[in-house]
Chain A
Amino acid sequence: MIKSLHKRESELADSNRQVEILSNGIFKNGDLPTFKNKIAETGQFPLKSKTLEILQINLGYMCNQVCEHCHVDAGPDRKEIMTRATMLQCLEVIKNTGAHTLDLTGGAPEMNPDFRWFVDEASKVGIKDFIVRSNLTIIRANKKYYDLPDFFKSHNVHVISSMPHWTKGKTDKQRGDGVFDKSIRALQDLNALGYGMPDSDLRLDLVYNPSGAFLPGNQASMEKDFKKALKQDFDIHFHNLFAITNLPIARFLDYLIASENYEDYMYSLVEAYNPNAVKNVMCTNTLSISWDGYLYDCDFNQMLNLPVNSKVKHISDYNEELLDGRTIMISQHCYGCTAGAGSSCQGSVT
Chain B
Amino acid sequence: MQKTYYDPADLKKFGKITEWNEELGNKFFDYYAKVFEEGKLSAREKSLIALAVAHTEQCPYCIDAYTQDGLQRGITKEEMMEALHVGAAIKGGATLVHGVQMMNKVNKLEM
Contacts and interface: CB of A to CB of B under 8 A. Distances in A.
A210 B74 CA distance: 8
Contact of B74 (A169, A215, A217): A217
A212 interface: yes
B73 A214 contact: no
Contacts of A217: 72-74
Interface residues of B, number: 11
B12 A221 contact: no
Given A167-B76, A169-B76, A170-B76, A221 B43 contact: yes
Contacts of A208: 74
Contacts of A210: 71-72
Contacts of B55: none
B interface: dominant SS: helix
A222 B44 CA distance: 10
A149 interface: no
B72 A216 contact: yes
Contacts of A216: 72
A interface: dominant SS: loop
A71 interface: no
A317 interface: no
Interface string A123-156: 0000000000000000000000000000000000
Contacts of A225: 44, 73-74
Interface in B31-81: 38, 42-44, 68, 71-74, 76
Nearest to B69: A217
